[in-house]
Amino acid sequence: MRRRKLIVLPALVVLLFVAGCKKAPVQTTEVIAVAAAQLPSSPTDAAWDNVPEYLAKLIPQDLVEPRLAQASTPEVRVQAITNGTDVAFRLRWLDSEQNDTAKPGSFVDACAVQVPTKLMPNPPAPQMGEAGGGVQIVYWRADWQAWVNGREDNIKSIYPNAEVTHYPFQAQSLEKGSPEQKEMAKRYAPADAVGNRRQSPRQSPVESLLAEGPGTLASNPAVAVKGSGVRTQDGWAVMMVRPLPEGLAPKKRTSVAFAVWQGSNKEGGARKMRSGWAPLAVEEKKP
């Protein structure tokens, strides 16, 4: 009797543990975009639950100066779903500290998905491509997500204790919201004046980019992207949607690479963790 008890108890513990855990996604050796009628609505959508997962190992950016001196985020878990037109990627990684404010000396959490501009047997350098071998990038940032989520467009949203007595664009002679007032505000926001607003209210937390090697990153309005990110219990979950890479179809392959920036480690720009190329495949549409 005592012997039976000894066997039953561990079995019960195992059963309870398994029942308490969500089923872990199947691990794959390539990123497989699972076919679905529609794309998930968010990074927490239940549609992601049964999608196979690719574990992308990350290494410090090591090609050009400035490099990342010490490795930080070791890996990112990647899933993909396609509706035949667009592909949604979900990236999840561990990050104990939420960094969603860029200010002097402070950096933000961010991630990116990169694919070659066209299908080719030998993809270009995974470090943002090379001359003649361009890459397209979708880039998400935690501070942009905070602006999209409703962060207020004033200095107090960044420095809660800040007191500013007067800005020139608040002069009484300037009617609020008038073209004159906006013009005055632009005079003291040079990046705004040339259409390169990188902070403050935004419609989207992601950006579409292209590059032909380090230092060549440029906006890519030809590829429409969208996305959203949420803070999880132990890190970030970010969904990024872009059109299926041109020519990618079932039984064909292209490449995909990932990057993660950890704000608490003062990572930004070239100081990042990046992966090598992984194969990207598309699942055949289920009948």
Partner 1 sequence: MARVYNWQLGREMSYWYPESRPKKQFAAVFDTNKCIACQTCTLACKTTWTSGKGQEYMLFNNVETKPYGSYPLAYDVKLLNMIEAGKWSGKTYEGQTIFESAPAGERVMGWRPEQVDYSYPNTGEDDCSGQVDHGALMQLPHMNWFFYLARICNHCTYPACLASCPRGSIYKRPEDGIVLVDQGRCRGYQECVRGCPYKKVFFNPMTGTSEKCIACFPKIEQGLQPQCFVNCIGKIRMAGFLNTPDKARADNPLDYLVHIKKVALPLFPQYGLEPNVYYIPPVHVPASFNRQLFGPGADAAVETYKSARKDMDLAGLLCLFGCSESLMTRWKRTGDIVVGMDDSGTQLVRVPISEPVHVRTSFDPVQKLVRINCP
Distance CA 223, CA 203 (A): 16
Residue 214 CB, shortest distance to partner 1, in Å, is: 7
Task: Provide Rg for the chain, Cα atoms.
Answer: 23
Among 3, 194, 221, 287, binds partner 1 (CB under 8 A): 194
Region binding partner 1 by CB under 8 A among candidate stretches 40-48, 185-193, 224-232, 235-243: 185-193
Sole window of 40-48, 60-68, 235-243, 279-287 interacting with partner 1 (rule: CB under 8 A): 60-68
Distance CA 70, CA 59 (A): 9
Nearer to partner 1, 27 or 167 (CB): 167
Q: Counting contacts by CB under 8 A, is residue 247 touching partner 1?
A: no
Q: Applying CB under 8 A, which part among 33-41, 51-59, 268-276, 279-287 lies near partner 1?
A: 268-276
- Residue labelled with tokens 């064909």: 252
Q: Which is nearer to partner 1, 68 or 113 (CB)?
A: 68
Residues 6+ apart with CB under 8 A from 173: none
Q: Do you find a cis peptide bond into 10, omega within 30 degrees of 0? A: no
Secondary structure (3-state) at 102: coil
Phi, psi of 232, rounded to the nearest 5 degrees: -100, -175
Residue 50 sits in the site that holds partner 1 (CB under 8 A): no
How far is residue 265 CA from its own chain's centroid? 17
Total residue count of the chain as it appears in this document? 287
Q: Which of 9, 13, 14, 193 binds partner 1 (CB under 8 A)?
A: 193
Amino acid at residue number 135: V
Question: What is the distance between the alpha carbons of residues 71 and 278, in angstroms, rounded to a whole number?
Answer: 20
Q: Which of 28, 42, 98, 200 binds partner 1 (CB under 8 A)?
A: 200
The single residue among 268, 276, 279, 283 that binds partner 1, judged by CB under 8 A, is 268
Using CB under 8 A as the binding rule, whether residue 252 contacts partner 1 is answered as no
With CB under 8 A as the contact rule, the residue among 13, 27, 50, 167 that binds partner 1 is 167
Q: Of 16, 41, 131, 188, which one interacts with partner 1 (CB under 8 A)?
A: 188
Q: Please give the size of the binding site for partner 1, defined by CB under 8 A.
A: 44
Tokens representing 91?
């990236």
- The alpha-helical segments, DSSP class H, found in 111-178 are 142-148
Binding site for partner 1 (CB under 8 A): 64-69, 101-107, 154-155, 158, 162, 164, 167-169, 185, 187-200, 214-217, 266, 268-270
